[in-house]
Chain A
Amino acid sequence: MTRFLTTVSRRDFVRVGLVLGGGLMVSVYGCGPNGEELQTGTTPDGSLAPNAFLRIDTNGNVFVTSKHLEMGQGVHTGLATIIADELDADWSRVTVEGAGADDKKYGNSKIGGMQGTGGSTAIANSWTQHRTAGATARAMLITAAANQWSVPAAELITEPGEVVHAASKRRATYGSLVTAAAALPVPANVPLKDPKSFRYIGKDKATTPRVDAKAKSNGTAVFTQDVKLPGMLTAVVAHAPLFGGTVKSFDGARAKAVPGVVDVVQIPTGIAVLAQHFWAAKQGRDALVVQWDNASANTLGTAEIMAQYRDAAQKPGIGIRNDGDAEKAIAGAATTVEATYEFPFLAHASMEPLNCVVELKADSASIWNSNQFPTVDRGAVAKVFGFEPEKITMHTVFAGGSFGRRANPHSDYVVEAATIAKAISGRAPVKLVWTREDDTSAGYFRPAMLHRLRGGVDAAGMPVAWWQRVVGQNMMIGTMFDSKDGKDPSAYEGAADHPYEIANVFLDAVFPKVGVPVQWWRSVGNTHTAFAVEMFVDEMAHAAGKDPLEFRRALLTKDPRRLAVMNLAAEKAGWGTPAAAGRARGIAVHKSFDTYVAEVAEVSIVNGVPRVHKVTCAVDCGIVVNPDVVRAQVEGAVAFGLGAALYGRIDIDKGRVVTTNFDRYRVLRHAEMPVVDVHIVPSGEAPTGIGEPATPPIGPAVANALLALTGKPTRTLPLVS
């Protein structure tokens, strides 16, 4: 990374350093404080609310307000764990609620102070803030008890939900103390616990089970899809079949004739059919007759786009890294290796198709949705309605997955919902529901990418040169994150700063313009850079006749945390011992979102198709708040990345997306799930990301196993066509 710093401007580094994973963000909002401005603990009902993150009522119930969206990653549980530990709360009395939109209260210091969930930053940015929030409330409860009992505060301790004075054997529940505590000034600089006395942080699921597990096992968890308001209409929209297409003309008569259909309106993104329920709205949409204007639409297919990328890869791009002289070193190398890796467009394909509920009133509005960027979405809706953003209330509910999609920088589907509500002048609340096909056809895909690699190995089998050209769309153009210098650092994150100690390294990047909307997808650029780097390392090791693990060890002498996860995964996987008959192992290691993950995949080929039997993972994400949630995120990220590596591919034909549902957009299914064995490296470092970092290594680990098994490298994803 130090070397990387010398080759890019400080501004670029800030951008790279702040890459979000389901999103990418820079400090465009100004670095506000971290929402920890402490005001007053007083509330009308006598409960204690010393900061924006928790409230304790007179019954002793603790309500944690999550500034981050719960989309499956366990953040409600994680934030509650941090607060409950410093507060010494009774875990069984902790409830978590989603916050509204407010950068000042709920800003994320890792993304420039804007409220946002992404980049695997939730725990990292909340760690000290939420410890402080819990400790502050605890200090106020202790002071209240000390005043009540006329004893020095120093003689008091806390046990879950109670303040205790051991000498006099007196105990008081938090509920009984909150009203007195709330009248006290909120103290500053409250000391935090010695980590040795953590009660919940780092403990397993028996101590701090997920706060949402039960509601998600009995159908009561509320997603946007489940929000119902009196008089609400459901809207289904006919979108242009080509990206960039617009409505030329339409006839809504047949749609209006469908029983249950209430209205048909034109909006900037198409024709919306509003009905009393989804099925009528969908039948109505199917009955629409629309003429589309495709004059400025994309008519290219994926085959043409990839052909353009292959041409682009032959021409110089924007220089990103240049150590030594890679061309000269390749010319003088004993062995040279060349490879071009191609990556398809990928859809996020969350289980809950995109949707949004809008209630528009004369001078205010309410939105029910699950937003990764609530203040961005609120701002976009405010523009549609011509209101001040503060007039719009954001209700944050559970997201049925997102993987970055609900962090759209244009607030695409949220704005669409707002335009429909406006088109009917707010006569009824509107629930916009996208069908699966709408969701998968709408774009904002992980961009298709191409990496061209050339390397040189010396007579001793050690690499002397690394040359890399990255080709793909700049996903920042047209967003508030556009650097306007033509570069998109997410395209080469994890590649330009690859850690392998090679004397001559060159990387440049080409950003062709393509009319397909693209966006961050779980782990952003690392989804392809980790594959290109880790596959190419194995290709060089293969050419040099070296064991891939030993080859990496020799090139990672200055990166102890990376080396440690690699060695741990290798040891636990039995690297060096023979795999079962017909199987081979592959290894990959990658750092993203400040977290190190190594994975060893054990693979065979069954009926001509790769079968991944087992994935052994080692992860170093600093201090672990909830080990079981960390394991779950690693298991899930492996499944997500493996599904993409095996099957994931959006096909576009003459501009039209043809892989629009799960029959053609294949994802990982139950029987294809490998055994995932997760090992966590103990650490005293501050927590880093966990939602995304286990995604990047799985593709190359599998491909490297296939190289070991068959001698053939993987040059095009997905593996199964």
Chain B
Amino acid sequence: MASITINGTSHDVTADPATPLLWVIRDVVGLTGTKYGCGIAQCGACTVHLDGAPVRSCSVPLSAVGTKHVTTIEGLSVDSTHAVQQAWVELQVPQCGYCQSGQIMSAVALLDRKPSPTDAEIDSAMQGNICRCGTYQRIHAAVQRAAEMKRAIA
């Protein structure tokens, strides 16, 4: 039995300590917004935050989570009003949508660290998130748009 905190709620979970965080989130806790894409930290579909830092949850064992706080797409906002989510809808980013939770979590972590990222910083932060529908152009613009929205609020 391990205890992990996801989106501010503590969960007692029974799972092998080697179980990747992704499968604890999806199959044990039951939050399905975080997606499985590759299992080897190559596609970014499973991106969540550990104490605010983006990680590929498919490659983080439960034992490595400890007391760190996990944030998933479900924990960003209760009503899709996070600036990044608003920008995603405004620019009509998603196509199939499967990778977008991971894309959004990477973008949120970037903007938390760098409120006004350069193009190169966006490229670098988003390079680990694959989108097979090819929504990259809109993702890039939406990150910039979200940065603008966040600055306007700040």
Chain A residues in the interface with B (C-beta under 8 A): 71-74, 205, 209-210, 212-223, 225-226, 228, 234, 259, 276-279, 283, 349-353, 398-403, 433, 435-437, 628, 632, 635-640, 643, 661-663, 667-671, 673, 675-676
Contact = CB atoms under 8 A, between A and B. Distances in A.
A668 B96 contact: no
Contacts of A403: 132
B130 A219 contact: no
Given A226-B32, A401-B96, A72 B133 contact: yes
Please name the 5 residue pairs, one residue from A and one from B, whose CB atoms are nearest each other, closest first: A219-B33, A639-B134, A400-B98, A216-B97, A72-B96
Given A210-B94, A216-B100, A662-B43, 5 more contacts: A398-B96, A401-B98, A436-B37, A639-B136, A671-B126
Interface of B: 15-16, 19-20, 23, 26-28, 30-40, 42-43, 45, 72-74, 76-77, 80, 85, 88-89, 92-101, 104, 122-124, 126-140
Contact of B134 (A71, A212, A220, A673): A673
Given A212-B97, A351-B132, A628 B37 contact: no
B20 A349 contact: no
Contact of A400 (B88, B97, B122): B97
24 contacts: A72-B96, A73-B95, A209-B89, A212-B94, A213-B89, A217-B85, A218-B77, A220-B33, A278-B23, A279-B27, A350-B96, A350-B132, A351-B35, A351-B98, A351-B132, A352-B35, A353-B36, A402-B96, A436-B38, A635-B137, A668-B136, A670-B122, A670-B126, A671-B124
A675 B132 CA distance: 17
A676 B137 contact: yes
B88 A213 contact: yes
A219 B42 contact: no
Contacts of B104: 217
Contacts of B43: 351, 436, 662
Given A217-B80, A277-B27, A435-B39, A669 B130 contact: yes
A661 B126 contact: no
Nearest to B42: A662
A398 B97 contact: yes
A218 B45 contact: no
B135 to A, nearest CB: 6
Contacts of A661: 38-40, 42
Contact of A225 (B32, B42, B129): B32
B122 to A, nearest CB: 8
B90 to A, nearest CB: 9
Contacts of B33: 218-220
A616 to B, nearest CB: 13
A608 to B, nearest CB: 19
Nearest to B80: A218
A151 B120 CA distance: 65
Given A74-B95, A352-B96, A661-B38, A217 B88 contact: yes
Contact of B101 (A219, A279, A398): A219
Nearest to A226: B32
Contact of A351 (B31, B72, B96): B96
Output the residue of B77, B98, B135 with the most chain A CB within 10 A.
B98
Contacts of A221: 97
B140 A673 contact: yes
A693 B20 CA distance: 40
B20 to A, nearest CB: 7
Nearest to A227: B32
A539 to B, nearest CB: 28
Contact of B123 (A635, A670, A676): A670
A276 B13 CA distance: 14
Given A279-B19, A351-B37, A436-B37, A217 B93 contact: yes
A222 B101 CA distance: 12
Contacts of B73: 218-219
B127 A223 contact: no
A426 B77 CA distance: 39
A356 to B, nearest CB: 15
A20 B110 CA distance: 41
A436 B37 CA distance: 7
B103 to A, nearest CB: 9
Output the residue of B30, B85, B100 with the most chain A CB within 10 A.
B100
Contacts of A353: 36-37
B137 A72 contact: no
Contacts of A213: 88-89, 92-94
